[in-house]
Structure 1
């Protein structure tokens, strides 16, 4: 019997097989927040957000030093609750004006939130789904979309723990909330939280300052632990991604 010679027709219709070591192609359309080809504005906005995240991570090891040396500066850089509490404690013993502690905390907590509003305004529902992959959270946000007063309340509550703030702020942009309205609600939110934490730190006073000074004694070791922890977490995450089929 004559062996069948493969023709060009056969090779065209034959199913392609992927070698064992070859990685599957990534469908970037499911990952990026925009639809179609990226425009210049998309690239700039994404680059700014990534750059801010990198800078905040780079500043993380400095936190143990700044929280004792200059907690108000740390408030402005990171907007962290610990920095606000430490700044208020220093204000109690006369080392800093309390109004500056509150203002720095408000600005530090709210300074980048408008970028997420802009993400929602520019990229729409897709970026909200990227921020909140949970179906329950997506259903809740969908209910807020056509209720402006509820959206404003959600923005004010966005600073509370457990609330997906980035998704709420993006929803505000997607729902066409005005930037001025968003900024007012956002500042009210950060002001309430900053005031509560500052009151707690001011009440503790010298006791809180003693804790902060104790942290300063071990600041170098705490910073080294943070750097090592970030490096280990990054290497494990990249290793897990490489192992995925």
Structure 2
């Protein structure tokens, strides 16, 4: 079954479209005036980012008290490992840890797929400054179907530009159902590996999680302080 069901934007076509001259236009992925779909999709993306920021200071607290909930909310590998460690001592069924973790990793990936379908190379340019990645995305429709499918499954691996791969899948015309199946397969594999490690460590991992919980306030405040200070330090370095 082919994953291409329509004409997708190519690199040459995208480059043929005049780039907007207004400076702020480089921060949006669409050309011309934004439509309702553009605004709704961008609003959803900003909401996801805001949710991630809001959850960050809560992670140390939820890690020890509700690790399964945390892994579903964030898809965080640390939370998956912690939940599996609690499963080892009978606090939660292991199957629930694996399913919740995989669901947490993929639950919003369809938005990224949609951005590729809606904006093509515009969203890729927002995700990465790498011209190599942009050229790869521009040739997405020329890839063999199995290559793109494999890329979606392997996108969960560390170091892979996950958002770019998912956007390219949408841009290349991959059907949403196909994308979701492949995406979940990759997430389920990764979750299984991490959960297996956490389950194997058992009580030792739980003890570490509980130690984090004891100093949760300090950890949260430190994380917030670091997030605020890093941009300030970078600006100071550039000025010097």
For the pair 1:62 / 2:58, whether they are aligned, the reply is yes
Q: How does 1:147-162 map to 2 (within 5 A)?
A: 147=143, 148-162=145-159
SS of the equivalent of 2:129 reads coil
Residue number in structure 2 paired with 1:82: 78
Distance in 2, Cα, partners of 1:236 & 1:116: 31
For the pair 1:197 / 2:194, whether they are aligned, the reply is yes
For the pair 1:138 / 2:148, whether they are aligned, the reply is no
Distance in 1, Cα, partners of 2:205 & 2:119: 44
- Pair 51,235 (structure 1): closer, same or farther in 2 beyond 3 Å: farther
For the pair 1:221 / 2:218, whether they are aligned, the reply is yes
Q: Which sections of structure 2, spanning at least 5 residues, go unmatched?
A: 1-20
Larger RCO (CA under 8 A, 6+ residues apart): 2
Shift in Å at residue 108 of structure 1? 0.7
Please list every run of at least 4 consecutive aligned residues from structure 1 whose deviation after the TM superposition is greater than 4 angstroms. 234-237
Shift in Å at residue 145 of structure 1? 3.1
Distance in 1, Cα, partners of 2:228 & 2:26: 28
SS of the equivalent of 2:142 reads coil
Distance in 2, Cα, partners of 1:143 & 1:154: 14
Q: How does 1:170-181 map to 2 (within 5 A)?
A: 170-181=167-178
What whole-Å deviation, never above 9, does each CA across 1:180-213 have from its counterpart, x for those lacking one? 0000000001000000000000011111111111
For the pair 1:103 / 2:99, whether they are aligned, the reply is yes
Cα RMSD after superposing both structures:
1.9
Instruction: State how many pairs are aligned.
Output: 217
Question: TM-score under structure 2 normalisation?
Answer: 0.85
Shift in Å at residue 234 of structure 1? 5.0
Q: Which has the larger radius of gyration?
A: 1
